[in-house]
Every structure is written in C-alpha cells, then in structure tokens.
Amino acid sequence: MNDKGHTGQVEFDHEAGIFDGEVIDLRDVITFQSKSVDEFERAFRESVDDYLAFCEEHGEVPDKPFSGRLMLRLPPELHRKVDMSSKLEGKSLQRVAERLMCAT
C-alpha cells in the first residue's frame, strides 16, 4: 500500500484476530490496526495523515522515504571485483552496483 509516498505493510495477527500494519519506509514508527480487510487501507491512510499533521503542528520536518543514498561497507575482495567489473564494462561503479543489486 502506498499513500503520499509512504509504504505500508500489513500482517494478520491470528491470535488477536486483527490486521497489524506499519509504515516501513521511515525511521519514525507509524503503526495502524484494523479488524477487517476493508478497514486496513483506510487505517493506513489515516495514520499517514495523522503523522504528517503531528509534524506540522510541532514544527517538525516529516521523515521522508529514502533519499537514494546508501553507504555500504564491503569486504575488500568484493569491492575490488565490483571496481574491476566497472572498468571492464566502461561504466561507473554506481551503474555496475545498480545492475548487480537489481539482478537478485
């Protein structure tokens, strides 16, 4: 589920008989619950709206879904292989890393 650039994930809690959801693309914690399939999308959207309203009321900048910048630590041998691949392909290290990450 998506709303205003935010992504929600829902799981069914069999013991409680409810749907538990969470906005998964933020550092802030936003959760929601519902008792039926028909209600969980509405509960998700209301939670996102409540979060954005809370931030506005308190003068806070809402956390945004991923910036696109990812810093990784790699074993030196893997770093060397990716760097060599980029040079052999005549592409940037960024492009080779994107290709490799999307291949899985």
Residue 63 lies in a domain: no
pLDDT at 102: 83
Whole-angstrom distance, CA of residue 46 vs CA of residue 12: 19
For 39-93, write each residue's pLDDT tens digit. Answer: 999 999 999 999 999 999 999 999 877 777 878 898 999 889 888 888 999 998 8
Where does the chain have alpha helices with state H? Answer: 37-57, 76-89, 93-102
Are 6 and 52 part of one and the same domain? yes
Instruction: Count up the domains in the chain and report the number.
Output: 2
Question: Token match 């929600």: residue?
Answer: 8
* C-beta of residue 100 within 8 angstroms of C-beta of residue 82: yes
pLDDT at 15: 93
* C-beta of residue 44 within 8 angstroms of C-beta of residue 9: no
- What pTM was estimated for this model as a whole? 0.63
Are 53 and 74 part of one and the same domain? no
Whole-angstrom distance, CA of residue 33 vs CA of residue 54: 19
Are 52 and 74 part of one and the same domain? no
What is the extent of the structural domain holding 85?
A: 70-104
